[in-house]
Amino acid sequence: KQEVTQIPAALSVPEGENLVLNCSFTDSAIYNLQWFRQDPGKGLTSLLLIQSSQREQTSGRLNASLDKSSGRSTLYIAASQPGDSATYLCAVRVDYGGSQGNLIFGKGTKLSVKP
């Protein structure tokens, strides 16, 4: 059974710092991995999608990597800003069994960037 873990659960950094959020998963049979952002009281916004054949994706100050063999992904945020404060969730898309196509979510990392 696929499980997704995000460490740390919460992170507080000063503005301008570069930071890394971690995501690990137990089964490498995935289509892809997706990173989301959720602001308080809001829905989830897709940030980056990495296909299983890819190693990384970049969008602006965000860079996501994927090591499928080790079951790990990282989200790198460069030059953090207070507006980056949110909860970041990763999810893997299952590529096996009766739940093929399903997404399994981690519990998220709550990021706070202090001015």
Partner 1 sequence: DAGVIQSPRHEVTEMGQEVTLRCKPISGHDYLFWYRQTMMRGLELLIYFNNNVPIDDSGMPEDRFSAKMPNASFSTLKIQPSEPRDSAVYFCASSFGVGSPLHFGNGTRLTVT
Binding mask 35-54 for partner 1 (x = CB under 8 A): -x-----xxxxx--x-x---
Cα separation, 81 vs 29, in Å, equals: 35
Q: Which stretch binds partner 1 (CB under 8 A): 13-21, 58-66, 69-77, 97-105?
A: 97-105
| List 71, 93, 109, 111, residue binding partner 1 (CB under 8 A) | 93
Least spacing, CB of residue 27 vs partner 1, in Å: 15
Nearer to partner 1 by Cβ, of 11 and 44: the residue is 44
Does residue number 29 form part of the binding site for partner 1 (CB under 8 A)? no
- CA nearest 32: which of 102, 88, 93, 91? 93
Burial of 31 (0-12, 13-18, 19+ CB in 10 A): middle
Cα separation, 95 vs 22, in Å, equals: 22
Least spacing, CB of residue 12 vs partner 1, in Å: 19
Helix, strand, coil percentages, rounded to 5, for the chain: 5, 60, 40
Residue appearing with tokens 């969730």: 89
Least spacing, CB of residue 16 vs partner 1, in Å: 29
Q: Which amino acid, residue 107?
A: K
Binding site for partner 1 (CB under 8 A): 31-32, 34, 36, 42-46, 49, 51, 89, 91, 93, 95, 98-103, 105, 107-108
